[in-house]
Amino acid sequence: MLRLVTVQAGFEQQFEQFLSMRDVGGADVSAVVADIILQVKKRGDGALLEYTAKFDKFTATAENIKVRHEDIAQALALCSPELIKSLKIAAGRIRAYSEKQMPADLDYVDEGGTRLGHRWTALDSAGLYVPGGLASYPSSVLMNAIPAKVAGVKRLVMVVPAPEGKVNNAVLAAAHIAGVDDIYKIGGAQAVAALAYGTQMIAPVDKIVGPGNAYVAEAKRQVFGKVGIDMIAGPSEILVIADSACNPEWIAADLLSQAEHDAMAQSILLTTDSAFADKVISQVERILKEIPRRDIAGKSWADFGAVIIASDWEEACEISNKIAPEHLELAVEKPEELLPLLRHAGAIFVGRYTPEAIGDYIAGPSHVLPTSRTSRFSSGLSVFDFLKRTSIIGCSQKSLAGLSQYAQTLAESEGLEAHRLSVAVRS
């Protein structure tokens, strides 16, 4: 765990090194992924079924690769009533938030008489990748699928790895509650290729969303352009800005809530009080001994965790902006005073009683958020990922006459005579 103090000599250099500490690339899987995509494009179902048998130890066929209604009904019956109720409450909150996000169309006539505006229309289809098979997360199904359905996507297809042919019951229950149309027991780069290019069994989609391993991420990168993608997601991360009035145990639990996701995850405490930081570190060490995923969380904390001591809250906010975290907690006395100073974050959790985990499950906004400092230029998943904005322009004879001279001049300056002529012949 790294400890940095802004007033100490060498802080800027250490901080810059810290920002790039997770940039070390893993094995290059681009060639392997490119070949998988090529084979699925060329051989369709044959390649898809072969890769599924090879990687998931599941003898997939045209008959068993698609999840049946009976399978979903059985999964629902095997989930506890408490889990089903929780999924439904979460789904309702995500749906309500997404509905409030839906944008309005624009349509007006300017002072010259030209009609201008735009309209929003949904994608025809989208593919949702759910990672992990038996270890996957039903909350992610809700967070990806419900914004798509609220946006108006007509066909939502889910793909999920099924080791030995088995899919997590809670994942199937979540898919049913969210309104997913079709579910296929496939994963990896081959699933991404099938969604992008289609096979005999699976019709192609317009956009692919959802996280996955390095092979899935690379496959999404390679099919972008043929289809849309949401983002290339990296390991989870959290930055907690906390003052000394906080309960150190609360903050330690928040830090570990992301560290337990992945050994590559990153948890950062940013405070102005060194003694408080020591108390939080002590609580982290205590809690680590008690949680089941202590090995994963402990490695994440040891390799990528950090505590940064700032001189004041304004400096703390500027440091946060440079980190541009996926999740940002404001566990301070007056969080509203800091909000205007914070420009870059996937999601901000305001106040001591708003742990990041509430956003993972039940708050309403999607927990699919930009990682690896990409919140500097991108946003979390929402209904906007499943909508397209189309401009609308309408000229009358009079309004065209008022614009014609200027359009012709610009066309002439670019040497495009047919452009000029198409305006001139109407004037």
Q: Which residues of the chain have pLDDT under 70?
A: 24-27, 133-135
Residue with tokens 């898809």: 48
DSSP 8-state secondary structure symbol assigned to residue 155? E
Domain boundaries, the chain: 2-22+235-363, 30-102+123-229, 395-424
The token pair at 262 is: 């992945």
**Interatomic CA distance for residues 39 and 144, integer angstroms:** 28
Same CATH fold, 30-102+123-229 and 2-22+235-363? yes
pLDDT of residue 56: 87
pLDDT of residue 60: 87
In the residue annotation, 290 being an active-site residue is answered as no
**Interatomic CA distance for residues 421 and 427, integer angstroms:** 10
Q: Which of 326, 329, 356, 367 is catalytic?
A: 326
Instruction: Tell me which fold the domain 2-22+235-363 belongs to.
Output: Rossmann fold (3.40.50)
Which numeric CATH code is attached to 30-102+123-229? 3.40.50.1980
Q: What is the DSSP string of 67-132?
A: PPHHHHHHHHHHS-HHHHHHHHHHHHHHHHHHHHHPPPPEEEE-TTS-EEEEEEEE-SEEEEE--S
pLDDT of residue 26: 59
pLDDT of residue 24: 54
pTM: 0.94
Rg over CA atoms, the chain = 25
Alpha-carbon distances of 171 from 66, 72, 133, 243, 427, rounded to whole Å? 15, 10, 9, 38, 61
Alpha-carbon distances of 302 from 26, 259, 296, 370, rounded to whole Å? 19, 10, 10, 23
pLDDT of residue 21: 85
**Interatomic CA distance for residues 187 and 162, integer angstroms:** 8
- Report the SS3 class of residue 348: strand
pLDDT of residue 234: 87
**β pairing state of 387-394 and 347-350:** unpaired
**Interatomic CA distance for residues 267 and 1, integer angstroms:** 10
In the residue annotation, 164 being an active-site residue is answered as no
Report whether 6 contacts 306 (CB < 8 A): no
Alpha-carbon distances of 299 from 107, 135, 290, 302, 304, rounded to whole Å? 55, 20, 15, 5, 8
Residue with tokens 């599924």: 52
Q: Which of 176, 218, 260, 327 is catalytic?
A: 327
pLDDT of residue 96: 98
